[in-house]
Every structure is written in structure tokens, then in C-alpha cells.
Amino acid sequence: MIEFDYWQLLLFPLFFGLGWLAARIDIRHLVRESRTLPRSYFQGLNFLLNAQPDRAIEAFVEAVKVDPQTIELHFALGSLFRRRGETDRAIRMHQNLIEREDLKQELKLQALAELGQDYLKAGLLDRAEAVFDKLRDSELGEEAKRNLLEIYQLEKHWEKAIAIASELPDFASHKEIAEYHCELAAAEMIRSRRDLAAGYLQTALERNRKCVRASLLWGDMLLQEEQWEAAIASWQRIEQQDPAYLALVAQRLLGAFRKLDRRDAGLRLLRGYLEHYPSLDLLDVVFQLVLEGDGAEAAYELVRDELKRNPTLLGFDKLLEARLLLASAESRPDLELAKGIVQTYTRRLARYRCDNCGFKARQFYWRCPACGGWETYSPKRSEEFDLTP
């Protein structure tokens, strides 16, 4: 049994008294600190609470002039306004900080970086670029270069993007740099500058030997020059790089084989791809080929067998299309009604989806227009993407 001394009861009021004294000291310290804050600080808070942000900014600017210790509040408010989309107020706030002669150099650099973010958010890319360019050699240089890379991509200044990416080896991947070269190659192909385009594509493949887009564009360039065999060989290389992307070149392969008058060889190749790498886009191309060469019955059997192997609503829509070709006049209205109902659902399933942010689009993008990720779109439709293990 534990012994208890009554004198220990005296410790409780002692501890209580010490706690009360500590609380009093903290309260006095807080009151003393609050008295040192300028009156404009409290005016600013009052304006902010009463939804008068313009007058709040003016009050906080005055507070900063009186007491530089409120500088962090200034930065916080600037970020808040930027997140709310009130970039003009954020710009004004950070410009006021930069113009102060008594502000420490490191705080001026921070204010300049915040101003660059304001310009970037507002879409003033030329001003943002000028700001971050000034910060390249500062202690904030790493973040400034990352922002510059984003700006160059938005402005499609791919040469500048390649140059700045080389200074960010831990941030810009070989895959992204290869894509910059592909962008340059695509532009040169439009201008019919074959040698320059070929140089950029070669560099892209050196940067990333699995760059599907480089092989695709190289085949397109050869197709323009009517080098059908070479174009087919370039597109076939995609099977070793990433066979899922074969769906993107199915129509191109078909066109090249037709130019060579080798439709049957093209059909065999595409049917082999469909068997090993199932895809709704591949199925659509093979369906058209079979329909042209072997008739509606063979095309229907193709789709039916593929639907058994890979059941999808989009595949069922294709099956109804094939069945309509064989339908009698009596059964056609019912099949057309069923196909119309199915299509109301398949329209949203036939989109491509970004694996990074989930943004969906009717067309395929090499760079997601929503999050800016490179090669984040699966070449499969969203329904197939959901069913992929």
C-alpha cells in the first residue's frame, strides 16, 4: 500500500499559483507586444474583416512603413490575393515592397520572386520572364529557372526551354527534353525544312530512345516524301518503344500500304497488332479494311470476336454498326434506336484522359492542356483506360 503524507497536499496550490503567474506573464507579454504594433495594422485587419481589401492593402502598406516587422504579413496577403485571382492587388503589394529603399536585400529578392508569380498568374508572361531572368543568378535561382522553363513552354520557345532544362538536370527529364526537340521538328516539317527536322528528331531519339513521337513524326516526314516503305518501318519501331501507341499510327500504316498496293499485307500487320495489343482505334481501322475486302459478314464476325475478348460499351457500339450492315428492313429501326441510345453514353467514354490530372479531351495531346504534363495521356480511350489492370 502506498503511503501518503498530508503535507504533499500543499503542493497543489503551489503548482496552481505558479501556473497562474506564468499565464499572467504571457498575457502581459502579449499585451505589451500588441501595443507596439502600429494602429494601421489593426485598421488593416478591420478593413479586411469588413471585405474592403483595397483599403486593407493601403493600411497594411502603411503598417509596413511604420514597423518592418509586419513584412511577413505583407507577403502572406500578397499570396492570398494571388490565389484568389486578384493579381492586380498582389502586384501592387509586391511592387510597394520592392520600391522600399530600407528593405533588406533578401526580402527584396523574395518580393521580386512573388511579383514574378503574380505576373505569371495574370498571364503577363513577358513581365514574368523579365523578373525571373533577374533572379537566375541569385539564391532563388533554382526556382526562378523552373518558372522560366514553364514560361518558355507556354510561349513555345523550345530552344530556350532546351537551354534552361540543361541547367535543371534533376527537374527536367530526358523525356521532356526529347519532346521539346519534337516540337521543333514539327515546326520545321511545316516549313518543309527536312534536314533541320531530321536533326531535331535524331536528337530527340538520342535523348530518349523510347520517344514514340519522334518515330511517328519521322514516319510522317518520310510519307511527305513518298517514301512509303521507310515510313512504315519508322512507324513499326513504335512496337518496341511502346506498343500502346500503335493505335495512333494505324490509319497512317493503312494509307502507306494502300499507296504500295499491299492492302493484304497491311491487314495482316494490323490484325496482328489488334490481337496482341487490343485497342478500339485499331479495331476501327481493321474493321474498315475487312469490310472493304471481305464484306459485312466478315466485319461483323471480327467485331463480335473482339467484343468477346475485350467487352466494352464502345466495342458494343461498333458491333451494332456492323449488325446494321446486315440488318433487314424490318429490324433496322430497332437496331438504329439501340445504337442511338448506346451512343449517348459512348460519347463521353470515347475521350482521352490525362493520367496525371484526369483531364479528358476528345483529341490526343502529347502535353496535357490542363496540368502541362508531357506524355501523360494514354493512347487508349477512357473506357479502355479504366478497364486496364
Query: How sure is the predictor about 386, in pLDDT bands with cuts at 50, 70 and 90?
Result: low
CATH for the stretch 16-123: 1.25.40
Q: Would the CATH topology of 16-123 be identical to that of 173-241?
A: yes
Using alpha carbons, select from 48, 71, 51, 52 the residue that is nearest to residue 61: 71
Cα 383 to Cα 313, 350, 352, distances in angstroms: 8, 7, 9
- What does the domain layout of the chain look like in residue ranges? 16-123, 173-241, 243-347, 351-389
Report whether 357 belongs to an annotated binding site. yes
Q: Which of 276, 285, 225, 290 is nearest to 255 (CA)?
A: 285
Return d(Cα 240, Cα 236) in angstroms, integer: 8
How far from 208 is each of 73, 202, 205, CA to CA, in Å? 46, 10, 5
**Cα dist from 19 to 11, 31, 33, 72, whole Å:** 12, 18, 21, 32
Local confidence band at 30 (pLDDT 50, 70, 90 cut-offs): very low
Lowest mean pLDDT of 26-35, 122-131, 153-162, name the range.
26-35
| C-alpha closest to that of 114 among 126, 141, 132 | 132
The predicted structure's pLDDT at residue 27: 39
d(Cα 171, Cα 383) in Å, to the nearest integer?
A: 32
Residue 354, marked binder = yes
Length of the chain (residues): 389
Report pLDDT for 23. 45
247-263 burial code (b ≥16 CB/10 A, e <16): bbbbebbbebbeeeebe
pLDDT band for position 24 (cuts 50, 70, 90)? very low
- Residue 182 annotated as binding site: no
pLDDT of residue 193: 93
Q: What is the CATH number of domain 173-241?
A: 1.25.40.10
What's the pLDDT at 49? Answer: 54
pLDDT higher than threshold 90 for residue 196? yes
The confidence score (pLDDT) of residue 285 equals 87
Overall pTM surpassing 0.95 (yes/no): no
Return the C-alpha cell found at 163. 537551354
